[in-house]
Amino acid sequence: MVMLVARNFDDLLRQGLTPVPTTSKIVHALTITQPSGTPLSTVTQANDTHSLTKVKMYALVAVRQGISEEVSRLEIEDKDVYCCLVPGTQLGVVAVCEKGYPQGIIIKRMRNLRENLTELKKFEIDEEYGDGY
């Protein structure tokens, strides 16, 4: 069986950080989490002052509040946090967005990520890299 490591997720997640010409708002971070809320892989905007500790906290809050396969939105502090489960796995996808980021765009991006990550259900996660960094 093929083993996955956190680095394998980065390119896929980075696609979700791409700026959108119709808004000046940004996606601060995207992370793939284990059922415990521990990040497997996290990507952030270059030069973003958003701390990885805060991203971890947002992911934990999302997991504790319950993540389903449908994309849902949480307001945490001054951010919009979107989350969903990857079907057939226990992995979660969490996006931390600037308040006011277009909901339709992030939902579409989250659904695309979810579909791409669904293919990973046949692989094992390499626990050596399970801390997300």
Task: Write out pLDDT tens, residues 39-54.
Answer: 888 999 987 777 788 8
Tell whether 129 is covered by a domain: no
Residue 3's pLDDT is 47
What residues contact residue 98 under an 8 Å CB cut-off, 6+ apart?
25, 26, 27, 28, 79, 80
Q: What CATH number does residue 12 fall under?
A: 3.30.450.30
| Total number of domains in the chain | 1
Q: Which residues contact 15 (CB under 8 A, 6 or more apart)?
A: 109, 112, 113
The Cα 69–Cα 65 span in angstroms is 14
pLDDT for 93 equals: 94
User: Mean pLDDT, the chain, as a whole number?
Assistant: 84
Output the pTM of the full model.
0.83
In angstroms, rounded to a whole number, what is the distance separating the alpha carbons of residues 84 and 93?
A: 5
Look up residue 86 and give its DSSP letter: P
Residue 67 lies in a domain: yes
